[in-house]
Structure 1
C-alpha cells in the first residue's frame, strides 16, 4: 500500500540518469498487469534521445516535463494482438499504473500523459516514433529522479461507494 499511496504525479526531475536495471523493473511491472483473456496487447517504446523527447513535447501541451525527464516510456496497444476487441485500452492502462507504482517504489518520479483518444496526439506520436499501423499510443510516462516532493495522497471518499444498487 505504501507504493500506491506514495505514487504522485511528479513533473520535475534532477536530470540524474535512471539505470537500465530500473527501466527493466518498470517494464517487468508493466507486463505483470492483467489483460483481457491474457492477450497482453501492450508494446513499449523507451525514449532516451533528447531530440525525440523534445519532438514529443510538441504533440501535446501536457508533456513539457519530457524536456527534464531522463526518459519516457510510451505505452502502446497493438490492435493486431487483440483477442478481445477494444480491451487494449484497459490492458495498457493497467500496465501504465503498474509502471507508476513501481516508479514510486523505486524512488523515481513519473507522470502519465494521455495521448489516446485525441487523434492529433495519436498521429503525432505514431509519426515521431514510426509506429506500425496496428499500434496505437495510449500514453507517455515521463520518468526521472524527482526534483520535487509531494505528500502521499489518500483520496478515499465514502460518498463514491454504492452497495448493490446506486
Structure 2
C-alpha cells in the first residue's frame, strides 16, 4: 500500500476480534509514532501501551466515545511532556504521532480509532490511573485491534473547502 492510498482508505474501526496484537506489531506502531515531525525536533511524546483488561474497561466507562475499549485488546495513550514544549505545540506534535500510528495500524491490517482527550477534564484520571508524572499530559488515546468490521471508503475531498491565497466563499 502506498502512502496516499493508506491516507485515503484509513477509517476509524471500533469493533475488534478477540485476537491479540503481536509484540512485533506494537513495536511497529510505536516506531511509527516516534517518526512523527515535531516543533524544534523536541519529540515531546511518551506512549503508554495499555493491554490490561481492567484498565481498558475502566477507560471504556469514560463515555460513549470510549466504549469500544471494552472489546479492544489494547490501546496506546499518547502523552506529551509539557516541560519540553508549550501546550499548543505539544498537542500538534503528539497529534502528528497519533496520525502516524493510525496509518501504521492500517498498513498492518489492524483497526484503530483516535479518541480525543479533554486535557483539563481528564488529566487527573489519566495521571492517577497510569501514574503519569505531573508535567506529562494525556493528549490522545488510540483504541487498537484486529478489525471485526469494514468501513466504506468514500471520497472525502471537498473542493468548496479549498481556498487559494485568501479565504473566499
Give TM-score, length-normalised by structure 1: 0.94
Secondary structure of 1:113 counterpart = strand
Structure 2 residue runs of 5 or longer lacking an equivalent are none
Structure 1 residue aligned with 2:113: 111
SS, match of residue 137 in structure 1: strand
Change (3 A) 1:107 1:127: same
For residues 87-106 of structure 1, the aligned pairs below 5 Å read 87-106=89-108
Encode CA deviations 1:52-101: one digit per residue, 9 max, x unaligned. 1111123343111111111000000111222x563010000000001001
4+ residue segments displaced more than 3 Å: none
- Residues 113, 141 of structure 1: 8 Å contact kept: yes
1:117-128 matches, cutoff 5 A: 117=119, 119-128=120-129
Offset at 1:106?
0.6
Task: Give the structure 2 partner of residue 159 of structure 1.
Answer: 160
Q: Are the aligned partners of 1:56 and 1:128 in contact in 2 as well (CA < 8 Å)?
A: no
Partners of 2:139 and 2:145 lie apart in 1 by 20
| Partner Cα separation in structure 1 for residue 102 and residue 155 of structure 2 | 16
Which residues in structure 2 correspond to 1:33-48 (within 5 Å)? 33-48=36-51
- TM-align CA RMSD: 1.3
- The partner residue of 2:55 within 33, 52, 55 is 52
Report the secondary structure of 1:72's partner residue: strand
Match of 2:16 in 1: 13
Task: Name the TM-score, length of structure 2 as normaliser.
Answer: 0.92
- Consecutive unaligned residues in structure 1, runs of 5 or more: none
Cα shift at 1:3: 1.1
